[in-house]
Structure 1
Amino acid sequence: MNTLLRIALALVIIGAINWGLIGFFQFDLIAAIFGGQNALLSRIVYALIGLSGLYTITLFCAPKKART
């Protein structure tokens, strides 16, 4: 698995944990760490997580050998 894909998967996992915290406890971890939902750094992290989610869609289209 290449480095970019590993980073993308890590960001997707962080995003999933954040959404779980929002759903269960109404707590946005990314906003808490980076200064609120409208802070520039938070928006950058949200954007990176979104792009990572789009990039990991390629896992569904790639042949099994290409994923390793």
Structure 2
Amino acid sequence: MTTLSLILVIIGAINWGLVGLFQFDLVSFLFGGQTALVSRIIYTIIGAAGLWSISLLFRKHEREEDREPDRIQ
């Protein structure tokens, strides 16, 4: 889920970059305008992925090197 969310956020960021630099909305171009149902669904999915990605800021990520080794008892 996290990887998929990050991919969607990257796609959204690229789309916003295109809008900012060239006034070109790729999602709108590909799927028939900003008000087309498919475009609105894609915008909603990318927005939800962005909200999910906010949780990544607050998660504790453990690296393999930081974990204590399993002890044999």
| Fold conserved between structures, TM > 0.5 | yes
Amino acid at match of 1:54: L
In structure 1, the partner of 2:42 is 45
Show CA shifts across 1:5-34 (max 9, x none).
111101000000000000000000000011
Q: Once the two structures are aligned, what percentage of the paired residues are identical?
A: 54
| Bigger Rg, structure 1 or 2 | 2
Normalising by the residue count of structure 1, what TM-score does the alignment of the two structures yield? 0.89
Where structure 1 has 5 or more consecutive residues not aligned to the other structure, the ranges are none
Within a 5 Å distance, the mapping from 1:11-26 to structure 2 comes to 11-26=8-23
Q: List structure 1 segments (4+ residues) > 3 angstroms apart after TM superposition.
A: none
Aligned residues: 63
What is the root-mean-square deviation of aligned Cα atoms in Å? 1.2
In structure 2, the partner of 1:62 is 59
Where structure 2 has 5 or more consecutive residues not aligned to the other structure, the ranges are 64-73
Normalising by the residue count of structure 2, what TM-score does the alignment of the two structures yield? 0.83
Amino acid at match of 1:16: A
Q: Which has the higher helix share?
A: 1
Aligned partners of 2:29 and 2:6: how far apart in 1? Answer: 22
